[in-house]
Chains A and B, each alone.
Chain A
Amino acid sequence: MGGWGMGRGGRPTENTCRMKDTPLSNCERDFLLKAIEEKKRLDGRQTYDYRKMKITFGTDYGCCFVDLGKTRVMAQVSCELVAPKESRPNEGIMFFNIELSPMASPAFEQGRQSELSVKLNRQLERCLRNSKCIDTESLCVVSGETVWQIRVDIHMLNHDGNLMDAASIAAITALCHFRRPDVGIQGDEVTVYSPEERDPIPLSIYHMPISVSFSFFQQGTYLLVDPCEREERVMDGLLMIAMNKHREICSIQSSGGIMLLKEQVMRCSKIASVKVSEITELISKALENDKKARKAGERCGFAESMPQERITALKMDETPVEMTDVTDRANDIVQNTEAPPQTVPSPVVPVPGVGQIGQGLQNAWGLEEDDEEEEDVSSHEEEEEQVTKMEEEQHEKESREGYFIYFNWVHF
């Protein structure tokens, strides 16, 4: 069998002008397709295998990291009290935001709403919001006036394929992990208790929808679960099924324009239900472990969750810093430095709210108008020609040569 075809210079696969995306070469593409036809994957997985998944939690509630192979995603849930929507006065608001950070891949640019970002956002919203997995009515504090707005921010830290699955797992795990502050209502007054006063309460979650992605090759003949980045580049189409462990389909989306037979979709949904139950078990176990660790008072957080025995990790505990001769050093420095420069008297302002400096113009920054001639004389030799030209245009305040700085002071 042929070896790795890693030549460069193939034609770009996408038609958008991505800035730094290296195009996939023809030999890589052919190699991948041929391997898939022979039921082989790049990393040795079987057709229906997921990559190694790891779920860790951050220090505060609602922060969760999901590693799917090399794909890494972080989700953070936060909440605040806002006025509810007009159409739904007694329901809370859920807001999802997926950020394709440039850290994940050089192809992602900051701030640009790329197609992929819009697609992921829409899919996640459909999967979590429309399936009503969170009880939004329990987020209501005062009907029609104040409700909780739950905001889920998902950051992509590394892109190695299948961002959608990782994002959905991170989102639902973070929502399960999150605790919102307790509120007390006395008549019209709403008091929010801090975590020290009263224990924060978890959100009420009915079910956990998890998305499973299937990638299709050669017009639907071959399918792979959990495509990695290279496989994603050569795939023909993608089918995303979001399901919960009770075998209810929450959302289904097919993109890429492939035509699928009914049997294929049914088969995929069966595979998805198996995978979803496995993943849900993993999530519950991770949540359990975290709860136990927090109860036992152990330190939790990103810094703690990193494995220490690896050669790329190093940890140093708190170390005191010697400060004995600090005062002497500081005193020396202070004595040796020069005195601060003289403060300038308040500037002359021609029009209220406008200040100006410039060559040849009236200097309103601390010099009186009589000193203007002195200033002309003391200017540099190279600029003398410019200065004489300026004098002719002295009265034109709209001249743009030289350096003029106009400041507008805002009056408070």
Chain B
Amino acid sequence: DTSVLAGVYGPAEVKVSKEIYDRATLEVLVQPKVGLPGVRERSQEQCVRETCEASLLLTLHPRSSLTLILQVLHDDGSLLSCSLNAACMALMDAGLPMSCLFCGVTCAIDTDGQIITDPTAAQEKESRALMTFAIDSKERRVMMSSTKGSFSVHEMQQCIAVSQKASEKIFQFYRDSVRRRYSKTL
């Protein structure tokens, strides 16, 4: 039920104060449903921005700006990974050059030690630890991780392995969506 709407504008003119001479400036804005953006949204923006900057070929558009806006439509758990998926699909649909695709996967470890992927808000609340990983499409490596709660190194490695497996399903979804979208034109 978690829904995020992503919009991409760019490459466009950038303010002189924000321009970088050899690459594009990426701005990410997360708009929450209720209230004004606060610290939590800023940290989510940071996570998404780092991931996008790592996969976009920013040097192809120097002194330009890319704006990525994420609007939260409904939050029922796994919000950060939903935002990452929406961001990647929006960047793909906009046709911006990327070196790899990325996807977000959230894992929750509940009190019994069970790993749950893509938890709902209720499952997140009961969990002992919550981890979100951004996995790239080329080598299934971890691009970004954001964790909350206490867990052992072993559990984290297990979650990473689970996320890598789950990412394959997500990338298949990307492929199917894009194939469907462009099936009439190509």
Are A and B genuine complex partners?
Answer: yes
Q: Are B73 and A58 in contact (CB under 8 A)?
A: yes
Knowing A153-B33, A302-B74 touch, does A103 contact B69 (C-beta < 8 A)?
Answer: yes
List the B side residues contacting A326 at CB < 8 Å: 158, 161-162, 165
Residues of B within 8 A of A312 (CB): 180-181
Question: Is A344 in the interface zone, CB < 8 Å from B?
Answer: no
Which residues of chain B come closer than 8 Å to A58, judged between CB atoms? 73-74
CB distance from B99 to the nearest CB of A (A): 24
Checking A19, A78, A101, A299 against B34 with a beta-carbon cut-off of 8 angstroms, the contacting residue is A78
Q: Which of A84-126 contact B (CB under 8 A)?
A: 97, 99, 101-103, 106, 110
| A106, B9: Cβ atoms closer than 8 Å | yes
Q: Are A327 and B71 in contact (CB under 8 A)?
A: no
Assembly CA distance A301 to B69 (angstroms)? 21
How many residues on the A side are at the interface (Cβ–Cβ under 8 A)?
39
Bound: A22/B166 CA distance, A: 43
A78, closest chain B residue (CB): B34
B95, CB-defined interface residue at 8 Å: no
Confirm or deny: A186 has a beta carbon within 8 angstroms of a beta carbon on chain B. no
Q: Tell yes or no: B183 within 8 A of A by CB.
A: yes
Among the stretches A43-51, A175-183, A329-337, A364-372, the one at the interface with B is A329-337
Nearest-CB residue, chain B, relative to A58: B74
Q: Is B67 an interface residue (CB 8 A)?
A: yes
B101 surroundings in chain A (CB, below 8 A)? none
Is B184 in the interface zone, CB < 8 Å from A?
yes
* Chain A residues within an 8 Å CB radius of B36: 97
Would you call B169 and A319 a contact (CB within 8 A)?
A: yes
How many interface residues does B have (CB within 8 Å)? 39
Question: Are B153 and A334 in contact, with the CB atoms below 8 A?
Answer: yes
Q: Which residue of B lies closest to A318 (CB)?
A: B118
Check if B153 sits within 8 Å of A106, measured CB to CB.
no
B interface, over-half SS: mixed
CB pair B9–A153 under 8 Å, yes or no, is no
B160 partner residues in chain A, CB cutoff 8 A: 330, 333
Interface membership of chain A positions 310-351, coded 1 if the CB is closer than 8 angstroms to chain B and 0 otherwise: 011010100101110011011101100000000000000000
A299 proximity list for chain B (CB < 8 A) = 1
In the complex, chain B residues 124-159 whose Cβ is within 8 Å of any chain A Cβ: 153-154, 157-158
A155 touches B31 (CB 8 A): yes
Q: How far is the CA of A58 from the CA of B4 in the complex (A)?
A: 12
Question: A323 → chain B, closest Cβ, in Å?
Answer: 6
Instruction: Please tell me if the beta carbons of A321 and B166 are within 8 angstroms of each other in the complex.
Output: yes
Which chain B residues lie closer than 8 Å to A330 at the CB level? 154, 157-158, 160-161
The answer, yes or no, to whether B13 is at the interface (CB within 8 Å) is yes
Say which residue of A76, A106, A302 sits within 8 Å of B67 (CB atoms). A106
Q: B162 to A323, Cβ gap below 8 A?
A: yes
Q: Is B173 an interface position by the 8 A CB rule? A: yes
A151→B33 CA distance, assembly (Å) = 11
Shortest Cβ gap from A314 to chain B (Å): 4
Asked if A63 is at the interface of the complex by the 8 Å CB criterion, the answer is yes
Check B154–A103 contact: CB distance below 8 A: no
> Is there a chain B Cβ closer than 8 Å to A255's Cβ?
no
| Interface flag for A262 (CB, 8 Å) | no
In the assembled complex, the Cα of A153 lies from the Cα of B35 at a distance in Å of 7
**Alpha-carbon distance between A311 and B178 when the two chains are bound, in angstroms:** 10
Q: Residue A375 at the B interface, CB < 8 A?
A: no
Q: Does B112 contact A (CB under 8 A)?
A: no
Cross-chain contact A151 with B71 (CB below 8 angstroms) = no
With a CB–CB cut-off of 8 A, which chain A residues contact B158? 326-327, 330
A10-43 toward B: CB 8 Å interface, digit per residue (1/0)? 0000000001100000000000000000000000
Within the assembled complex, what's the spacing in Å between the Cα atoms of A330 and B115?
13
Q: Is the CB of A311 within 8 A of B165?
A: no
Would you list 19 pairs from A and B whose C-beta atoms are within 8 A, ordered by A residue? A58-B73, A58-B74, A74-B71, A101-B31, A102-B7, A102-B29, A103-B5, A103-B31, A103-B71, A106-B12, A106-B67, A301-B74, A303-B1, A311-B184, A314-B177, A316-B173, A316-B176, A321-B162, A329-B161
Give me 8 other A-B pairs in contact (C-beta within 8 A), A20-B13, A329-B157, A334-B157 excluded: A20-B9, A101-B29, A102-B67, A157-B5, A311-B184, A314-B177, A323-B165, A330-B157
